[in-house]
Amino acid sequence: MPAATKSASTAPERSLGQRMEALNEANRIRTERAKLKRKLKDGGANVAVLLRDPPDYILTAKVSDMLLAVPKYGHVKVNKILAQCRISPSKTIGGLSERQRRELIGHLVKR
């Protein structure tokens, strides 16, 4: 039998330093997102402004997660807005097209 070979889908090997660096970056992003969600909940941040010019740490966050942090925005309202803007619930902020971003901001500003 031939020796087992690596498949193309396996992740490349990382050194301990690289893994620790990635872990630290992930922790930084989680901490910044938690702070932002608290600001959204308290009214200290505006989600429409964040969508216009998102900081790097929320580019990979789901749009629905950020909207759910806003007071009076529950799952039903968020899903309705996303459907009206033709945005998948799993879409990330960085993955929004210009049309989606414009429509979403328009809906949020009207409310």
CATH code for the domain of 37:
1.10.8.50
- Which two three-digit tokens encode residue 72? 């009076």
Task: Tell me if 70 is assigned to some domain.
Answer: yes
Task: Tell me if 10 is assigned to some domain.
Answer: no
Task: Tell me if 100 is assigned to some domain.
Answer: yes
Task: Tell me if 5 is assigned to some domain.
Answer: no
Task: Tell me if 3 is assigned to some domain.
Answer: no
Residue 27 has pLDDT above 60, yes or no: yes
Task: Tell me if 92 is assigned to some domain.
Answer: yes
The DSSP letter of residue 91 is -
Span 1-24, mean pLDDT? 77
Task: Tell me if 6 is assigned to some domain.
Answer: no
Q: What is the pLDDT confidence band of residue 12, given thresholds at 50, 70 and 90?
A: confident
Domain span at residue 21? 16-110
Predicted pLDDT of residue 39: 95
Residue 2 has pLDDT above 70, yes or no: no
Note if the pTM is more than 0.95. Answer: no
CA 31 – CA 87 distance, rounded (Å): 26
Any idea of the CA torsion for 3, 9, 12, 18, to the nearest 10 degrees?
Answer: -150
The per-residue pLDDT for range 46-103, each reduced to its tens digit, is: 999 999 999 999 999 999 999 999 999 999 999 999 999 999 999 999 999 999 999 9
CA 59 – CA 57 distance, rounded (Å): 6
Task: Tell me if 1 is assigned to some domain.
Answer: no
Residue 37 has pLDDT above 80, yes or no: yes
Domain tally, the chain: 1
Of the candidates 49, 81, 48, the residue with the CA atom closest to the CA atom of residue 64: 81
Q: What is the pLDDT confidence band of residue 109, given thresholds at 50, 70 and 90?
A: confident
Span 27-51, mean pLDDT? 94
- Which two three-digit tokens encode residue 12? 């490349």
